[in-house]
């Protein structure tokens, strides 16, 4: 693409707390990592030069990793060269931002992801006048309003920081119209500075596939019915809801025990990482310990095969800004049962590509799963619709919408500079 003067040529993308090179499903790595990686790559393919700045936690192979011709990941020293809990990272933001000061003049725009990165982006905006585009991914006030009883409360410091970012950024990108409304409702964002940029899915990696072949490759019994969970193991993602639902299905119809399996893929995450250790005892207590299989995070190619193995994918999260797992599963032709909340309402079309369940009652989830498992023809219909639905979400489309948001930010910055200059002229 021939990048015109209406778009930036060099972008400083900030992902302070987690690297786009990290494997999703490990620690704090998840959908945000996939998002940053994919969008940065696609922007590079469109001719922009993108540097992604992340904190050096000692795991990177080099200070600067050349990902592609126009994309680099730069590891910035801030605090100890070691993994630091996300809850301790706010104290490192000033040092991280200060390290970027000497580099800032090389860029036309800053795009920050998550509130910690946004605070560093605000610092560069103030010191260098760089237009700031910010993507929340999740919001403290929204998460606190939807959190499970077992989940932690997001701190006031985060909500305050997000408010400052909303006020200071030229452009805010939201995954869905619902998220845009949350920005207005919870933070008083001006609607005219919000750009809706739906995430995408890697349609090369995730695509319709052969279930029998995949089961042979992974050694999964071709006769069993598989419910799959993929994600970080934390209360917000609620894999325990699926365990309870499976237990309820077996309680209702003991004959299901011979054929029903739940596979949980992911690793512990967040300040309550110990919570993951309660899931196996929960399954045993409910009498389905032998039906639940726990597996660690998987590489993308292996994850694709697990989607293919499944009959239905469950996404029982309490809050999701969009739900990339739901989209990946559907791209593989798998129907999804998801919570009727947040971005999942946009990722899953109720009755067309899967089912949306209101709340987290085990009986309601058991009903939705049974509807899928007991009607093979309906699964096929929903799966075909799901694949067609997901095919409309590509990362190239996301990058194009992001580029438009950059253009809006540059125009807003020029208006700001003009007004500021006019004000100084009047003050003479």
CB 401 within 8 A of CB 200: no
pLDDT at 1 over 70: no
Span(s) in the chain for CATH 3.40.50.2000: 10-200+395-427, 211-390
Report in angstroms the alpha-carbon separations of 26 from 233, 243, 324: 9, 21, 16
Please give the distance of CA 423 from its chain centroid, rounded to a whole number.
41
Quickly state the pLDDT bin for 121 (edges 50, 70, 90).
very high
Q: Which fold has domain 10-200+395-427?
A: Rossmann fold (3.40.50)
Q: What one-character DSSP code corresponds to residue 20?
A: T
pLDDT at 233 over 80: yes
Compute the average pLDDT of residues 192-217: 95
**CATH number of the structural domain 211-390:** 3.40.50.2000
pLDDT at 425 over 90: no
322 three-class SS: coil
Q: What is the pLDDT of residue 357?
A: 98
Q: Tell me the two tokens of residue 168.
A: 């200071």
Neighbours of 207 (CB within 10 A): 17
- pLDDT, tens digit, 9 for 90 and up, residues 279-318: 999 999 999 999 999 998 888 889 999 999 999 999 999 9
| Separation between Cα atoms, residue 401 and residue 200, nearest integer Å | 11
Closest by Cα among 329, 318, 210 to 265: 329
pLDDT at 422 over 70: no
Tell me the whole-structure pTM to 2 decimals. Answer: 0.87
Q: What is the pLDDT of residue 4?
A: 46
Q: Tell me the two tokens of residue 258.
A: 């011979």
- pLDDT, tens digit, 9 for 90 and up, residues 132-158: 999 999 999 998 887 777 667 889 999
Q: Tell me the two tokens of residue 353.
A: 């590509």
pLDDT at 338 over 90: yes
pLDDT at 175 over 60: yes
């Amino acid at each position: 693409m021939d990048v015109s003067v209406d778009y930036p040529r060099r972008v400083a993308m900030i992902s302070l707390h987690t690297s786009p090179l990290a494997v999703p499903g490990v620690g704090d790595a998840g959908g945000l990592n996939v998002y940053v990686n994919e969008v940065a790559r696609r922007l590079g393919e469109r001719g922009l030069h993108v540097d992604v700045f992340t904190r050096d936690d000692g795991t990177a192979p080099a200070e600067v990793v050349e990902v592609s011709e126009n994309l680099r990941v730069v590891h910035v020293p801030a605090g100890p060269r070691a993994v630091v809990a996300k809850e301790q990272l706010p104290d490192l933001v000033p040092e991280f931002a200060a390290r970027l000061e000497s580099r800032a003049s090389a860029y036309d725009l800053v795009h920050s992801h998550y509130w910690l990165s946004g605070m560093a982006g605000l610092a560069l905006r103030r010191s260098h006048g760089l237009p700031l585009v910010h993507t929340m991914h999740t919001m403290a006030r929204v998460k606190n309003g939807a959190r499970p009883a077992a989940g932690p409360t997001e701190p006031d410091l985060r909500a305050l920081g997000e408010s400052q970012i909303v006020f200071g950024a030229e452009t805010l990108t939201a995954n869905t119209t619902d998220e845009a409304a949350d920005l207005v409702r919870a933070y008083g964002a001006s609607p005219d500075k919000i750009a809706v940029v739906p995430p995408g899915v890697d349609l090369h990696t995730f695509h319709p596939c052969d279930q029998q072949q995949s089961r042979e490759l992974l050694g999964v019994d071709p006769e069993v019915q598989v419910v799959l969970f993929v994600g970080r193991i934390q209360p917000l993602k609620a894999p325990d809801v699926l365990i309870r639902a499976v237990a309820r299905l077996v309680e209702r119809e003991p004959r299901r025990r011979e054929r029903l399996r739940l596979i949980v893929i992911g690793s512990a995450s967040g300040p309550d990482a110990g919570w993951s250790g309660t899931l196996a005892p929960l399954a045993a207590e409910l009498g389905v310990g032998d039906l639940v299989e726990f597996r660690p995070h998987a590489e993308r190619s292996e994850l694709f095969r697990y989607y293919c193995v499944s009959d239905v994918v469950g996404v029982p999260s309490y809050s999701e800004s969009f739900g990339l797992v739901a989209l990946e599963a559907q791209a593989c032709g798998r129907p999804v049962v998801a919570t009727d909340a947040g971005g999942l309402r946009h990722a899953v079309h109720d009755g067309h590509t899967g089912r949306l369940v209101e709340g987290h009652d085990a009986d309601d989830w058991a009903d939705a799963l049974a509807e899928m498992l007991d009607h093979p023809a309906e699964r096929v219909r929903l799966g075909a619709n799901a694949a067609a639905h997901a095919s409309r979400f590509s990362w190239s489309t996301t990058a194009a919408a992001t580029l438009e948001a950059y253009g809006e930010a540059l125009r807003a910055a020029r208006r700001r500079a003009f007004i500021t200059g006019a004000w100084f002229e009047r003050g003479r």
